[in-house]
């Protein structure tokens, strides 16, 4: 069913405001004495016009995040739930992506992230241990969180990984994937750029970056990334057919129908069954 309490247009129209709100909350916490990476439990509130929306959202959060969520309450015509996160190391970026994660999850259940804050004692601040011995732990925690659906938790752990080792291409690559899932594609591109600066033959990063470029109108830049990926001898079969298929899409967007059809046919001959529909429709 389509959303009625927070529609897709509401979600996109208010996306910039959510980002600004996160910045305001962070700045307020800094003025109160917060230091970067202070471990803080964030309080949060979601609202909706239907109780069942919040029941489903509550069940989802409890299943996928290490958070506590209280029972649904009614206030006149509005229902709400309140909760508290686990300890989160607060930085401007960490708070931003946590807020966007919650904003997205709310939308998925036709509910709105209505308020949040992070009470802390400025005289008793604790921080995560950022040492070389924890690099693998934080990276693996990020993978575990991502597989559980905790998008902001994944980003936060990969950011901690990069605090320890700023030359870890896998952390940049992984973080880029999630940033794009949270609709911050420009920031995702920067992470792919960093991953490829460190590891120029990182085929997955090349293909993913090309996809983002294509989705945002940089068709020539996308083709350049696919060309680079396809020129690497060790490219795996899955990425190879995907790169040909995607390059075909980018060529078609640049009105190169012949080049597009050639790439789609190559992808299909390599086993990309999904290319057949494009060939039937676009290559007559």
Find the CATH number of the domain harbouring 90: 3.30.70.970
β-pairing, 112-117 vs 68-69, is unpaired
**Is position 124 within any domain?**
no
**Same domain for 212 and 177:** no
Residue indicated by tokens 């690559």: 173
pLDDT at 284: 84
Structural domain ending residue among the three candidates 195, 214, 240: 195
Domain-terminating residue out of 195, 226, 247: 195
* pLDDT value of residue 2: 87
Domain at 141, CATH number = 1.25.40.10
Q: What is the pLDDT of residue 13?
A: 97
Residues 206 and 185 in one domain: no
155-171 confidence digits (pLDDT tens): 999 999 999 999 999 99
**Could you tell me if 49 and 96 lie in one domain?**
yes
Domain count, the chain: 3
Which mean pLDDT values do the consecutive 10-residue runs of the chain (284 residues) have? 92 97 96 95 97 98 98 95 97 98 98 95 93 96 98 98 98 98 98 98 97 97 98 95 97 97 97 96 92
Neighbouring residues of 11: CB distance < 8 A, sequence distance ≥ 6: 103, 107
Q: Is residue 71 included in any domain, yes or no?
A: yes
220 and 173 co-located in one domain: no
Tell whether 27 and 49 lie within a shared domain.
yes
CA distance 116 to 83: 9
> What's the chain's Rg over C-alpha atoms?
22
Same domain, 148 and 68: no
179-216 per-position pLDDT tens digit: 999 999 999 999 999 999 999 999 999 999 999 999 99
* Same-domain status, 42 and 69: yes
**Among residues 92, 117, 142, which one ends one of the domains?**
117
pTM of this prediction?
A: 0.94
Regarding whether 156 and 251 lie in a shared domain, the answer is no
pLDDT of 1: 61
């Amino acid at each position: 069913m389509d959303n009625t309490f927070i529609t897709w247009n509401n979600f996109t129209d208010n996306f910039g405001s959510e980002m600004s709100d996160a910045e305001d909350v962070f700045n307020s916490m800094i003025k109160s004495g917060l230091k970067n990476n202070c471990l803080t439990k964030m309080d949060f509130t979601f609202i909706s016009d239907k109780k069942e929306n919040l029941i489903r959202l509550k069940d989802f959060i409890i299943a996928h995040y290490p958070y506590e969520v209280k029972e649904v309450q009614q206030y006149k015509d509005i229902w709400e739930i309140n909760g508290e996160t686990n300890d989160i190391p607060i930085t401007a970026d960490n708070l931003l992506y946590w807020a966007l994660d919650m904003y997205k999850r709310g939308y998925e259940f036709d509910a709105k992230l209505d308020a949040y804050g992070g009470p802390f004692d400025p005289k008793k601040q604790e921080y995560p241990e950022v040492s070389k011995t924890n690099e693998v732990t934080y990276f693996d925690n990020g993978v575990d969180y991502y597989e559980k659906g905790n998008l902001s938790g994944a980003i936060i752990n990969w950011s901690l990984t990069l605090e320890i080792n700023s030359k870890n291409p896998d952390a940049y690559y992984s973080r880029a994937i999630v940033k794009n899932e949270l609709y911050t594609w420009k920031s995702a591109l920067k992470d792919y750029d960093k991953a490829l600066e460190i590891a120029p033959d990182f085929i997955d990063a090349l293909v993913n970056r090309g996809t983002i470029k294509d989705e945002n109108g940089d068709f020539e830049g996308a083709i350049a990334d696919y060309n680079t990926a396809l020129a690497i001898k060790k490219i795996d079969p899955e990425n190879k057919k995907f790169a040909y298929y995607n390059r075909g899409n980018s060529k078609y967007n640049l009105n190169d129908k012949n080049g597009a059809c050639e790439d789609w046919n190559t992808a299909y001959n390599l086993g990309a069954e999904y290319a057949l529909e494009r060939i039937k429709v676009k290559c007559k």
